[in-house]
Chain A
Amino acid sequence: MTNNRTRRRAGAALALALGAAGIATGAAAQDCTTKVGAVLPTSVDWGRPIAETAQWVVDQVNEAGGVNDCQVEMILRDTQVDPKVGVDAAKALVDLDGVQLLIGAVSSGVSLPILTSVTVPAGVMQMSCCTSSTALTELAKEGKTNGLWFRTFATSGVQAAVGAKVAQDQGWKKVAVFYKNDDWGQDIGKLVAQNLESMGIEVTAQVAINDGQPSYRAEAASALSGQPDAVYMALYPNEGTATAREWLALGGTQNMILANSLKSEEFRENVGMQYLENAWGTDTASPRADSATAFVDAYEARFDSPPNGPGLANSYDATMIALMAMEAAGEDATGAEIAAAVPRVTDPEGTPVTADAEGFAKAAEIFAEGGNVMYQGATGNVRFDEYGDVSAPAVIWKFTEDGIEEVEYLSLEEVNDFMASLQD
């Protein structure tokens, strides 16, 4: 009896040891690492979650066995939102660590010099989650990105077009535009004004809002002088709240069009629901796709909070698409080869795969057989155009007593058709 038990125990121990050895050899077979670089503003409060999301994707891919059976190591460098520091970090990643894939950066003032002086000369693929400036599209049009540049942040064009559509649908004739005074705000403010005018709607004023001012009374007053019957706001919640309050206090109209940056509970509570009955918002980042809701659920499970910061869904997709493209390009692929494999990940004819570890494993199998996949990501079915820009489906939303409600959904085709009609 005792003997038996000992024997059994010994057997169990042996099995365990063998199993452990098996795992050890398994790990040894996988004892390689693929380095990828990330250059993100981690020293800024809103930049940190973007980096955490990217790291989370890497963890999921490693869970699924890594890229081409190698564990992925993401080397994360801080940009400090200083172009010099960001470019140096990118250069060190490319030259010293030999990465063929660089994730980043956030501000276009950092992304653009990295692209022109580091990644393009070295032939490294660069994928940004959050750079919005149209300057990069122009660079691509001039053929200076060599097809190495991608971003998952829909250019401001989509939102500007849908914002103008709201004004048209509501029959507003004179619109004042407030925009945040940075690259994103200047772009979107200018685009929305162009779109409105091409529809025959008068733009009475375009007013820049600088961050951190104690009062925006002067700005609100100057926008009011043209007697607009609606106002467009491309602002962030802090300045947006202050501007909206001054605007309403001075007797400005409650007909508002809001960019996605104001899609926040904070803005609704601080301005007051009674003033937002006729406020219409636009957004690109929440397509009607199961994959997007799945992302929100998975994010909450991982970080114990909803993905409410800017660029989180975009960061997820940027990292996942880039790693899938690396998988598709095969072992020891160069940056150009990885970039060339991106269409295999976002092929509308391909097999749909989800945005998680299983999705990655499935995509890897399909690539091994020579097939293509259609990645269904946190921002929907992402597709890049020839300039590395992504178009996106759009939604029009409104605030309600207990949250935010979608009013209208425009599919990718509808958005593209509408934007094409504006060009004429």
Chain B
Amino acid sequence: MIGLISYLVFFTTVATILSIAVLGLNLQWGNTGLFNGGVAAFFGAGAYGTLILGGTPQEGHIGGFALPYPVALAGGMAAAGLLAWLVGRLTLKLRHDYLAIATFGVAVTFENVMRNAEWLSGGARGLRGFDRPLQELFASPLAYNAVFLGFVVVLLVATYAFLQRLVASPFGRLLRAIREDEEAAQSLGKSPARVRLISFVTGSVIMGLAGGLYGTFYAFVSPQDVLPILTFQIWAMLIVGGAGNNRGAILGAFLIWGAWTASGWALSRYAPVEAQIYAGSIQYVLIGSVIVGMLLWRPQGLFPERLVVSQRGRHPVPAAAE
């Protein structure tokens, strides 16, 4: 029983962290229509930034500034934001698939820099030497994990509340206006380039927060953590949950991550011994099928975006009018 609780705490922590990243992507894609194909880079910038700033000194590379944890985490978010600002200035003039290709390239570049710049990131061996904050106060690892879960849930709720308010605000309307028709928005005197950049950076800072929490939880990050598969996973979560709906983004993260891990668990338990060795491959097929099925039968996601009229004109037209 205690084992089940311990596992559920662990699972929920990872799913919560991932859902924060999905919320960041939802701001970019769901609300602003920015096709960010480089989620892994911004997630990674947060993780590396946090661990470099908050870790203990290690031989062979910079870092180990051992800053207080909140400062390190904020620094990780700032690193992600800075990277997003640079990338955004360069690429946000691109539309749709071109932006996707450019940002995908950024993510691959990021991974390669982290793999090779040993003085910065420890290279392929990864970055370690980070002491989880306040861990020494807890005798049992489970108690610590439970408290850490509480911490990430609070941050998830805060992020959710912030995004809900943002989306409901006039600025949120502006984001959707730009998503639907940029020229129309421009004709009303808005500056799409600026707004797109703000949305891109904000979303990336949120991904950086998720990355920082991820690095904190494992006390380790390596280039293997920022492979393109991560971008794919985050996208799959958003598409299944429902782009444009924050609740959908969170649900999607839990569902996809749950399916991802539960399918492996179920196969290891119920598949015949001869098939065990192929369980990994079967799992890939299953996950792929779920996503394809979702796209075919419910492309809007489980929780589709709810379009509301946020401000009625002076002579409201009744909704039921024909």
Which A residues have a C-beta under 8 Å from some C-beta of B? 41-44, 47-48, 51-52, 55, 75-78, 80-85, 87-89, 91-92, 94-96, 98, 107-110, 112-113, 116-117, 121-122, 133-135, 138-139, 181-183, 185-187, 208
| Residue on A nearest B9 in the bound complex, by CB | A95
Asked if B269 is at the interface of the complex by the 8 Å CB criterion, the answer is yes
Q: Which residues of A contact B126 (CB under 8 A)?
A: 108-109, 112, 133, 135, 183
| Contact sample, A vs B, 20 pairs, CB 8 Å cutoff | A42-B276, A42-B278, A42-B279, A43-B284, A44-B280, A48-B278, A55-B276, A83-B218, A84-B14, A85-B264, A91-B11, A95-B4, A96-B7, A108-B126, A138-B128, A181-B115, A183-B123, A183-B126, A186-B123, A186-B124
Q: Which residues of A contact B277 (CB under 8 A)?
A: 42, 48, 51-52, 55, 76
Q: A55-B277, A135-B125 are in contact. Are A109 and B223 (CB under 8 A)?
A: yes
Asked if B261 and A89 make an inter-chain contact with CB atoms under 8 angstroms apart, the answer reads yes
A116, A138, A182: the one within 8 Å of B124 (CB): A182
Q: Which residues of B contact A80 (CB under 8 A)?
A: 229, 280, 283-284
| Residue on A nearest B128 in the bound complex, by CB | A135
| Residue on B nearest A94 in the bound complex, by CB | B3
Interchain CA distance A135-B148 in the complex, whole Å = 26
A41, A51, A183: the one within 8 Å of B125 (CB): A183
Chain B 186-221 per-residue mask, 1 if CB under 8 angstroms from chain A, else 0:
000000000000000000000000000000011110
Interchain CA distance A134-B11 in the complex, whole Å = 29
Interchain CA distance A352-B118 in the complex, whole Å = 44
Nearest-neighbour CB distance to chain A for B221, whole angstroms, equals 9
B118, B225, B268: the one within 8 Å of A109 (CB): B225
Asked if B141 and A121 make an inter-chain contact with CB atoms under 8 angstroms apart, the answer reads yes
Q: A76-B268, A89-B264, A183-B124 are in contact. Are A112 and B280 (CB under 8 A)?
A: no
Closest 8 CB pairs of A and B: A78-B280, A43-B280, A109-B224, A121-B141, A95-B7, A109-B222, A42-B280, A183-B124
Interchain CA distance A112-B221 in the complex, whole Å = 9
| Residue on A nearest B227 in the bound complex, by CB | A82
Asked if A78 and B264 make an inter-chain contact with CB atoms under 8 angstroms apart, the answer reads yes
Asked if A98 and B3 make an inter-chain contact with CB atoms under 8 angstroms apart, the answer reads yes
Q: A83-B218, A95-B4 are in contact. Are A78 and B125 (CB under 8 A)?
A: no
Q: Which residues of A contact B169 (CB under 8 A)?
A: none
Interchain CA distance A98-B278 in the complex, whole Å = 24
Asked if B281 is at the interface of the complex by the 8 Å CB criterion, the answer is yes
Q: Which residues of B contact A44 (CB under 8 A)?
A: 280
Which B residues have a C-beta under 8 Å from some C-beta of A? 3-4, 6-7, 10-11, 14, 115-116, 118, 122-126, 128, 141, 217-220, 222-225, 227, 229, 260-261, 264-265, 268-269, 273, 276-281, 283-284
Asked if B141 and A122 make an inter-chain contact with CB atoms under 8 angstroms apart, the answer reads yes
Asked if B125 and A186 make an inter-chain contact with CB atoms under 8 angstroms apart, the answer reads yes
| Residue on B nearest A180 in the bound complex, by CB | B124
* Besides A88-B261, A135-B128, 11 other A-B contacts (C-beta < 8 A): A42-B276, A75-B268, A76-B279, A78-B280, A84-B14, A88-B11, A89-B265, A109-B126, A109-B225, A135-B125, A181-B116
Nearest-neighbour CB distance to chain B for A134, whole angstroms, equals 7
Q: Which residues of B contact A41 (CB under 8 A)?
A: 280
Q: Which residues of B contact A135 (CB under 8 A)?
A: 122, 125-126, 128
Q: Which residues of B contact A134 (CB under 8 A)?
A: 125
Q: Which residues of A contact B269 (CB under 8 A)?
A: 75
Nearest-neighbour CB distance to chain A for B61, whole angstroms, equals 12
Asked if B118 and A186 make an inter-chain contact with CB atoms under 8 angstroms apart, the answer reads yes
Q: Which residues of B contact A82 (CB under 8 A)?
A: 224, 227, 229
Nearest-neighbour CB distance to chain B for A109, whole angstroms, equals 3
Interchain CA distance A202-B305 in the complex, whole Å = 64
Nearest-neighbour CB distance to chain B for A41, whole angstroms, equals 7
Asked if A110 and B224 make an inter-chain contact with CB atoms under 8 angstroms apart, the answer reads yes
Asked if A88 and B283 make an inter-chain contact with CB atoms under 8 angstroms apart, the answer reads no
| Residue on A nearest B281 in the bound complex, by CB | A43
Interchain CA distance A74-B283 in the complex, whole Å = 19
Asked if A113 and B218 make an inter-chain contact with CB atoms under 8 angstroms apart, the answer reads yes
Interchain CA distance A81-B221 in the complex, whole Å = 14
| Residue on A nearest B60 in the bound complex, by CB | A190
Interchain CA distance A44-B281 in the complex, whole Å = 8
Interchain CA distance A314-B293 in the complex, whole Å = 41
Q: Which of B118, B122, B261, B276 has the most chain A CB atoms inside 10 A of its CB?
A: B276
Q: Which residues of B contact A183 (CB under 8 A)?
A: 123-126, 222
| Residue on A nearest B5 in the bound complex, by CB | A95
Asked if B261 and A85 make an inter-chain contact with CB atoms under 8 angstroms apart, the answer reads yes
Interchain CA distance A63-B260 in the complex, whole Å = 35
| Residue on A nearest B130 in the bound complex, by CB | A116
Interchain CA distance A223-B278 in the complex, whole Å = 42
Interchain CA distance A83-B273 in the complex, whole Å = 25
A76, A92, A94, A117: the one within 8 Å of B218 (CB): A117
Interchain CA distance A113-B261 in the complex, whole Å = 17
Q: A76-B279, A88-B10, A181-B116 are in contact. Are A112 and B268 (CB under 8 A)?
A: no
Interchain CA distance A135-B277 in the complex, whole Å = 29
Asked if A139 and B128 make an inter-chain contact with CB atoms under 8 angstroms apart, the answer reads yes
Asked if A78 and B229 make an inter-chain contact with CB atoms under 8 angstroms apart, the answer reads no
| Residue on A nearest B284 in the bound complex, by CB | A43
Asked if A91 and B7 make an inter-chain contact with CB atoms under 8 angstroms apart, the answer reads yes
Q: Which residues of A contact B116 (CB under 8 A)?
A: 181, 208
Asked if B280 and A187 make an inter-chain contact with CB atoms under 8 angstroms apart, the answer reads no
Interchain CA distance A332-B287 in the complex, whole Å = 37
Asked if B222 and A112 make an inter-chain contact with CB atoms under 8 angstroms apart, the answer reads yes
Q: Which residues of A contact B224 (CB under 8 A)?
A: 81-83, 107, 109-110
Interchain CA distance A112-B218 in the complex, whole Å = 9
Interchain CA distance A109-B222 in the complex, whole Å = 6
Interchain CA distance A124-B224 in the complex, whole Å = 24
